[in-house]
Structure 1
Amino acid sequence: MGTRLAFCCTAPGCKAWLEQDLAAMARELGWDACLWDDRPPCPRCGARGHYMASPAPGTPYRPMITGDMNDAVRKVFLAQFGFTKRDIIRIRLMAEEATANFAPSALNDLDVPYRVGVLSGGGTSGEVLGKWKGRTLVYWPMHEAERAAWSRKRRDGPKPVPGPRR
C-alpha cells in the first residue's frame, strides 16, 4: 500500500473522481512519465481534469498541478466547506495573529461544523486547509459531541463580523 493516484474532473456538472492503477499507467506511459500539470480529458464529460496524489492510505490527496489552475482547484476545495465571509475573516485574523511561539487555539465556532487552526511546530491530526500570511492552516471535521454543541449555539442566529483589531 503506497502512493495512490486519482483523476479529478473539475467541470461543474461532472466532478468525476476516478482511481488510477499506477502500475498500469507506468506500463502504458513509461516509468519516467511525469503527470505533474498533465490536463487529460475527462472520460465522462470531455472537460480537462488533473491528477491528485496521496502518499499512502489515510493521507489526503493533493492536486498535482501548479500555477493558476492550482488556484482554481484550491477555490473549489475551499468552497466545499461552505465557509461564510465571517468565517474567512476570522480565519485570516487568527492566522495573522499567530506567532512563532504561540498559535491561538483552533476556531470551533465557525458558521460550518469544522475546527480550523494554525499548524504549530509539532505535528497535527488535522488536514491542511491552505496557507495565509506564511502560516499553514489546518482543519478538522467536528466529532459528534462537538457538532451537537455547535448546533445548539447556532440556534442563536448569526454573529457579527469582527472588525480589525487594534
Structure 2
Amino acid sequence: MSIFVAVQSDDFCVASEYDELRQQANCGAIVTFSGLVRELSNNILHNMTLEHYPGMTEQALIAIAEQAKQRWQLGAVRIVHRVGTLKPQQQIVFVGIASAHRAAAFAACEFIMDYLKNQAPFWKKEHTAQGDYWVAAKVSDQQALARWE
C-alpha cells in the first residue's frame, strides 16, 4: 500500500490527486473528500490562517493513514492539507483512498478525516468582522472520533 502526505501552502488539483490514486493496481474503488473553508453562520469570515508544526504534522498524518491501513485493505492513501491564509471557499484538505472495494474506501476516508480533525497538529485562527480568534476543538468532532474506538 502506498501512502502520500503533503502539507503545503499551494492549492491542489482534485483531478490530479484522483489520477494518482487510479494508478494503483487491483483497486476497484476510489473515494475522495475535499474540504473547503466555509462561511461562519454568525459572523463574516474574511479568511482563516492555518498553522502547523513542520515535520511533526506530516508524521501525524502518516500515522493516521497507517492506522487506516491496519483496519482495512487499502491500495493507496493520499492526504493533502493546506496551511497559510485561506479565504472562504478555498480548498483546505484532500483525502483520497483507493481500495479493492467501496466499503473499505468509504470507511477509511471517513476514519482519516475524523482522526485528522482531532489528532493532527494544525491550529486555525479565524479572521472575522468581529475580530480574530483561535478555533477551539468541537465536541461534535470528538464524538465522531469516539465511534472508531
Higher relative contact order (CA 8 A, sep 6+): 2
**Which interval holds the TM-score relative to the shorter structure?**
under 0.3
Give the TM-score taking structure 2 as reference length: 0.23
Rg (Cα) greater in structure:
1
The structure richer in strand per residue is 2
TM-score (norm 1): 0.21
